[in-house]
Chains A and B, each alone.
Chain A
Amino acid sequence: NAGVTQTPKFRILKIGQSMTLQCTQDMNHNYMYWYRQDPGMGLKLIYYSVGAGITDKGEVPNGYNVSRSTTEDFPLRLELAAPSQTSVYFCASRVTSTNEKLFFGSGTQLSVL
């Protein structure tokens, strides 16, 4: 059972480039989340989804887009990368509305230079 899988683990982007961070879970969880963690800071919620076809903004959505076409996948898109988006990105999932436990992937370390 793989859990939550994120790819790639590391990536360096040039300013203005675009990329998609992939996240897939094999636990049939309805809820999925994208967080970013800046050095010395807590995890900030970027976007979340309560099910296929439904997404909503979190605390820091600017500069990002998401889609949720299947239960398993929740990709995060950066359209015009900026140095402020240098961070570690974590994807997480949760099974139901009454179960509070989040399961996290191992993260993607992104540098924008």
Chain B
Amino acid sequence: DQQVKQNSPSLSVQEGRISILNCDYTNSMFDYFLWYKKYPAEGPTFLISISSIKDKNEDGRFTVFLNKSAKHLSLHIVPSQPGDSAVYFCAASADNFNKFYFGSGTKLNVKP
């Protein structure tokens, strides 16, 4: 049973516009959330994270929002650039960080 879900397999956005990638989770014990970006033939790379004690974390063009009551988080990319085209994975962990549970990914295509 998948504890982290990304229900949109793909998203297409125009360059310069906002990209919003969504993620839902079922386990209320998760208290740390991460986003990873993956290019073809490469391993995922860390993008941004958020602790459950926050509801927002920003890093340049990337912002992650967390809604604990809805068990939902989202990644906003503003403005989107063609180089952002990749697969984005949402991940979650409980307090020991030993296990990270990943969603199925959303393939983002940013059109020039």
Which A residues contact B (CB, under 8 angstroms)? 4, 31, 33, 35, 40-45, 48, 50, 56, 58-59, 90, 92, 94, 97-98, 100-107
Among the 9-residue stretches B39-47, B52-60, B77-85, the one with 4 or more Cβ atoms under 8 Å from chain A is B39-47
> Using an 8 Å CB-CB cutoff, how does the interface string of B81-108 with A read, 1 for contact, 0 for none?
0000000010101001111111111000
Give complex CA distance A98, B36 in Å. Answer: 18
The CB with the most chain B CB atoms within 10 A, among A35, A59, A102, A104, is that of: A102
Which residues of A sit under 8 angstroms from B99, Cβ to Cβ?
45, 48, 58-59
A40 x B100 contact (CB < 8 A): no
Give the contacting residue for A4; candidates B36, B43, B98, B102; CB below 8 A. Answer: B43
Q: How many Å from the CB of A52 to the closest CB on chain B? A: 16
Give the contacting residue for B43; candidates A31, A41, A50, A92; CB below 8 A. Answer: A92
Q: How many Å from the CB of A88 to the closest CB on chain B? A: 10
If A97-B97, A100-B97, A106-B41 touch, does A43 touch B46 (CB 8 Å cutoff)?
no
Give complex CA distance A44, B111 in Å. Answer: 31
B43 x A40 contact (CB < 8 A): no
* B73 contacts the other chain (CB 8 A): no
B105 x A42 contact (CB < 8 A): yes
Give the contacting residue for A41; candidates B32, B45, B104; CB below 8 A. Answer: B104
Q: Which A residue sits closest to B2, measured CB to CB?
A: A42
Show 21 residue pairs from A and B whose CB-CB distance is below 8 angstroms, ordered by the A residue. A33-B100, A35-B102, A42-B2, A42-B89, A42-B101, A42-B102, A42-B104, A42-B105, A43-B89, A43-B91, A44-B102, A59-B101, A92-B43, A100-B32, A100-B49, A100-B93, A100-B97, A101-B34, A102-B44, A104-B44, A107-B42
Which residues of B sit under 8 angstroms from A31, Cβ to Cβ?
98
Give the contacting residue for A100; candidates B34, B103, B104, B105; CB below 8 A. Answer: B34
